[in-house]
Chain A
Amino acid sequence: MALSSPTPKSANSSAASSNNSSASALRNISFWFAVSALICLLLVDIDISTADPWAELSLMTAGALSPSVWSWPTLLSSLANTFAFALQGVTLAAIAGFTLALGYRFTLVRAFCAFIRSIHELFWALLFMQVAGLSSLTGLLAIAIPYAGTLAKIYGELFEEVDSAPANNLPPSNRRPLSHFFYSVLPLAWRSMATYTSYRFECAIRSSAILGFVGLPTLGFHLETALSDGHYSEAAAFFYALLLLIGTLRLWLHKRLLPIYLVAVFYYLPPQATISWQLLVRFVTEDIVPGPLRGQVLLSSETFNNLSQWFNALWQQQIWPGLVNTVLLGQISLVFTGLLALALLPLNSPLFMGHGRFMDHGRFISHSWKRGIGDSILVLLRTLPEYLLAFIGLLILGPSMLPAILALGIHNGAIIGHLLGRYTEEFNLRADASRGITLYFYEVLPRIYRQFLAFLFYRWEVILRETAILGILGIATLGFYIDSAFETFRFDVALLLILVSAALNISVDQFARYLRQRLQLKTVPESL
């Protein structure tokens, strides 16, 4: 497993080749997105309400500079758990995703995959916790299920996009589908699948850490505790451990060692749970059934009235306000992400970070230290889970949507900025090309703009899903109401709200897909 960051595929559609009418379509769509974000910005609360934000910030800085480990066994075991959940989850997701991808041409399979990946891993964890408790099985499934949906989509699209020449050259008679697939499709898609899966593994480590926030014994468990108690030195130690784990993956997670690691993690943390069948049955047949329907005669007018009352009250008090806040926050964050990505991309671009500019005895220095530092900053920013960023923002800036916007923007902006920077590697500039700001605005920006929009639309659904989970921090998105429902053991309400948020994510994903097709944007799965 090569753990390099994904490289965007070569650019087939640069802006240079696009005609004027499509350029104006790009301008239009960007304009309307910016306007919508500005309108949304007027509607939400972005006050800084902390009387003294610098006090908390200086404490945090002091903590970040003096990490301290209060218990090595705790740190190491939570580090191992984080790695184990991630590796097990991605392995299971890859197997399930591969199987699902074989049937990806069926609408039903695609819809199923879209559904399971539209529910955030934290919500899967909260659901499984009700029947499987705080167990290793809960952690494994919470990662494996949504990741299987994502991997199925990517694998499925890769299978569809492979060069059909080898398949066409097979004799038309006795084409056995299985041999056909294994000899003419899989080998062509294999490399991309492996690259993408290894990228998802990095995401899975972040997810695994975040699962600690709801009680699984990963890094997030202690990180959240230390942060909320204000023990910033201890929080820093856990955070650096997470960075170190992600940052050094490519040094020790080699393809050949993978089987050993896999056996080790299943031995270290076997997926198990004490499941009481009685509870499971009760959960499925009673807890998640809408309150007014429990033990009632279906199809009676009284039951129907009660149900509609129940739903109306929920709609007015939770679903509608939650939806509005989720969409507002998503829209602002999306545009902020875009702006930040454009601002950050030079950090990982050879055109701005020294490549070819510094001559060493007549040779270009191919690996610029400036770009190395620049890209490290981006990788650091994208490694910070948005949930964590929002948490820190909330402490510093006080309760409003501002910390959430900043968190989503920084995390996603860094991911897209990193990819766009790599994308500029392939640019061949004229010998007399301009430099600096002129180069950026007159050459780079027009040439990357299509790719930029493609990445951004791809990321839209992800941002929206993350918006919902920021609700757990008290920002009144759908996630806030879902968390409240779990806190008060109203699993029927929780499930309904989860389905609403899934429907929203699927709709936005479809809309983004429509926009990408209309604007003929080339998509690359790595940005997902």
Chain B
Amino acid sequence: MRIQLLRTFAALTLLFVTSISSASSANTASPKTFVFSAIPDQDEANLQERFDKVAVYLQEQLGIKVRYIPVKSYSAAVTAFRNNQVQLAWFGGLSGVQARRLVPGSQAIAQGTEDPFFTSYIIAHSSTGLEASDSLPTAITGKTFTFGSKGSTSGRLMPEHFIRENLGDTPNNLFSKVGYSGDHSRTIALVQSGAYEVGAVNYKVWDKQLAAGKIDSDKVKVIWRTPSYPDYQWTVRGDVNNSWGPDFQARLTEALLAMDDPDLLASFPRSGFIAADNNLYQPILDTAISVGIIDAGK
């Protein structure tokens, strides 16, 4: 029995080695399928369903195989982009800036019509007694507070920036507890349940969930709207033309900008797409450096 097991072990080691070597040889050729991803910012269970439709659309428009792969976190989306596991991604402002710094030559090519003037809501549980106001209420000091993902623009970076600007201190000093819910839907759920008293959330996600009747207005409400800033965008790797033809990036941009099926656009959710470039996101980079999420000059 022992000899038999040892033999199995040997056979497996061989199998393992061959499978690895065959894998690496298969991967030296350029990937045939064009793969994209998106940051998991809300309603994660339906990401696959939402973005598979976009994959089908791009496949028809570009005449190549297109596939969507789901990821678990904002940083995983950036890592996949960096590793060339995905060539295109629907990033937030901050994750896009991070991705383009890690992959020289990559380009922001399109953004949602709403993205040049994006904003965040500060929301509060009814037990706090906080009411909607034109300026950030100082009464939120001392409350428990949750951001969204650590790498989120509308759920972390910009709210943190405006909180620092308006209240003159860091969230860790201002609030009795600071959490990171992971995504916007979860932020709403946590504040609605009272697990956290105050939170910061992407306005698009809030509006969408409010319209869908998923928010109990007696328990949670918007108390402040931040000034606007640029957010989400499509970013593509700079080397895609080598694999899919000299005008590929231009055709891809065109296909994204031409997307007008309301059903597809609801996946994002955006009313349409407009052209974008890397420079539009300079303010996000500057803010990320000042808040300490990105190191200057790296």
Using C-beta atoms within 8 Å of the partner chain, give the interface range for chain B.
35 or more
A140, chain B: closest CB distance, angstroms: 9
Whether B83 pairs with A214 at a CB distance below 8 angstroms is no
Whether A225 pairs with B75 at a CB distance below 8 angstroms is no
> Which residues of B lie under 8 Å from residue A484 when comparing CB positions?
150
B209, chain A: closest CB distance, angstroms: 11
Q: Please tell me which stretch of B181-189, B230-238, B246-254, B264-272 contacts chain A, meaning at least 4 of its Cβ atoms lie within 8 angstroms of it.
A: B181-189
Q: Please tell me which stretch of A153-161, A163-171, A226-234 contacts chain B, meaning at least 4 of its Cβ atoms lie within 8 angstroms of it.
A: A226-234
Tell yes or no: A215 within 8 A of B by CB. yes
Tell yes or no: A76 within 8 A of B by CB. no
B146, chain A: closest CB distance, angstroms: 8
Docked CA distance A229–B80 (Å): 23
Whether A133 pairs with B8 at a CB distance below 8 angstroms is no
Q: Mark A133-177, 1 if CB is under 8 A from B, else 0.
A: 110010000000000000000000000000000000000000000
CB closest residue in chain B, given A194: B5
Tell yes or no: A190 within 8 A of B by CB. yes
Tell yes or no: B71 within 8 A of A by CB. yes
Tell yes or no: A354 within 8 A of B by CB. no
Whether B45 pairs with A231 at a CB distance below 8 angstroms is yes
> Which residues of B lie under 8 Å from residue A131 when comparing CB positions?
83
Q: Mark B36-47, 1 if CB is under 8 A from A, else 0.
A: 000000011100
Whether A49 pairs with B179 at a CB distance below 8 angstroms is no
Task: Give the residue of B72, B125, B144, B179 whose beta carbon is less than 8 angstroms from that of A215.
Answer: B72
Whether B8 pairs with A262 at a CB distance below 8 angstroms is yes
CB closest residue in chain B, given A488: B293
- A215 and B45 in contact, given A51-B127, A51-B193, A487-B150 (Cβ under 8 angstroms): no
Whether B76 pairs with A134 at a CB distance below 8 angstroms is yes
Instruction: Tell me which residues from 192 to 212 in chain B have a Cβ below 8 Å from any Cβ of chain A.
Output: 193-196
Tell yes or no: A33 within 8 A of B by CB. no
Tell yes or no: B82 within 8 A of A by CB. yes
Whether B83 pairs with A274 at a CB distance below 8 angstroms is yes
B49, chain A: closest CB distance, angstroms: 10
Whether A266 pairs with B16 at a CB distance below 8 angstroms is yes
Tell yes or no: B295 within 8 A of A by CB. yes
Whether B72 pairs with A213 at a CB distance below 8 angstroms is yes
Tell yes or no: A443 within 8 A of B by CB. no
Task: Give the residue of A190, A213, A279, A486 whose beta carbon is less than 8 angstroms from that of B75.
Answer: A486
> Which residues of B lie under 8 Å from residue A275 when comparing CB positions?
24, 27
Q: Mark B84-107, 1 if CB is under 8 A from A, else 0.
A: 110000000000001000100000
B85, chain A: closest CB distance, angstroms: 5
> Which residues of A lie under 8 Å from residue B16 when comparing CB positions?
92, 266, 271
Using C-beta atoms within 8 Å of the partner chain, give the interface range for chain A.
35 or more
Whether A214 pairs with B73 at a CB distance below 8 angstroms is yes
Whether A276 pairs with B83 at a CB distance below 8 angstroms is yes
> Which residues of B lie under 8 Å from residue A399 when comparing CB positions?
144, 146, 177, 179, 195-196
A177, chain B: closest CB distance, angstroms: 18
- A271 and B20 in contact, given A226-B45, A489-B102 (Cβ under 8 angstroms): yes
Whether A263 pairs with B27 at a CB distance below 8 angstroms is no
B6, chain A: closest CB distance, angstroms: 10
B168, chain A: closest CB distance, angstroms: 20
B10, chain A: closest CB distance, angstroms: 9
Instruction: Tell me which residues from 5 to 33 in chain B have a Cβ below 8 Å from any Cβ of chain A.
Output: 8-9, 11-13, 15-16, 19-20, 22-24, 26-27, 31
A491, chain B: closest CB distance, angstroms: 10
Tell yes or no: A195 within 8 A of B by CB. no
Task: Give the residue of B23, B43, B82 whose beta carbon is less than 8 angstroms from that of A279.
Answer: B82
Whether B27 pairs with A274 at a CB distance below 8 angstroms is yes
Q: Mark A480-501, 1 if CB is under 8 A from B, else 0.
A: 0001101111100000000000
Whether B194 pairs with A51 at a CB distance below 8 angstroms is yes
Instruction: Tell me which residues from 38 to 63 in chain B have a Cβ below 8 Å from any Cβ of chain A.
Output: 43-45
- A133 and B79 in contact, given A231-B45, A272-B19 (Cβ under 8 angstroms): yes
Q: Mark A330-373, 1 if CB is under 8 A from B, else 0.
A: 00000000000000000000000000000000000000000000
Instruction: Tell me which residues from 94 to 142 in chain A have a Cβ below 8 Å from any Cβ of chain B.
Output: 94-95, 129-131, 133-134, 137
Whether B9 pairs with A266 at a CB distance below 8 angstroms is no
Tell yes or no: B180 within 8 A of A by CB. yes
Docked CA distance A187–B13 (Å): 23
- A95 and B150 in contact, given A215-B72, A225-B45, A399-B144 (Cβ under 8 angstroms): no
CB closest residue in chain A, given B19: A270
- A276 and B84 in contact, given A214-B72, A266-B12, A488-B293 (Cβ under 8 angstroms): yes
CB closest residue in chain A, given B84: A276
Task: Give the residue of B12, B20, B43, B71 whose beta carbon is less than 8 angstroms from that of A134.
Answer: B71
Whether A129 pairs with B76 at a CB distance below 8 angstroms is yes
Whether B19 pairs with A130 at a CB distance below 8 angstroms is no
Tell yes or no: B158 within 8 A of A by CB. no
> Which residues of B lie under 8 Å from residue A187 when comparing CB positions?
2
Tell yes or no: B151 within 8 A of A by CB. yes
Docked CA distance A137–B20 (Å): 9
Tell yes or no: A52 within 8 A of B by CB. yes
A127, chain B: closest CB distance, angstroms: 11
Q: Mark A56-99, 1 if CB is under 8 A from B, else 0.
A: 10000000000000100000000000000000000110110000
Tell yes or no: A35 within 8 A of B by CB. no
Tell yes or no: A259 within 8 A of B by CB. yes
> Which residues of A lie under 8 Å from residue B82 when comparing CB positions?
279
Instruction: Tell me which residues from 376 to 420 in chain A have a Cβ below 8 Å from any Cβ of chain B.
Output: 394-395, 398-400
A61, chain B: closest CB distance, angstroms: 15
Docked CA distance A525–B53 (Å): 51
Which 7 A-B pairs have CB atoms at the shortest separation, nearest pair first?
A: A51-B194, A272-B23, A215-B72, A270-B19, A398-B195, A133-B83, A487-B150
Listed by A's residue number, 6 A-B pairs whose Cβ atoms lie within 8 Å are A49-B144, A50-B193, A215-B73, A266-B12, A276-B83, A276-B84
Known pairs A51-B125, A228-B44. 13 more at Cβ < 8 A?
A91-B9, A95-B12, A95-B13, A212-B72, A214-B73, A230-B185, A266-B16, A270-B19, A275-B24, A276-B83, A484-B150, A487-B149, A488-B293
**A→B interface (CB under 8 Å):** 45, 49-52, 55-56, 70, 91-92, 94-95, 129-131, 133-134, 137, 186-187, 190, 212-215, 221-222, 224-226, 228-231, 234, 258-259, 262-263, 266, 270-276, 279, 291, 394-395, 398-400, 474, 483-484, 486-490
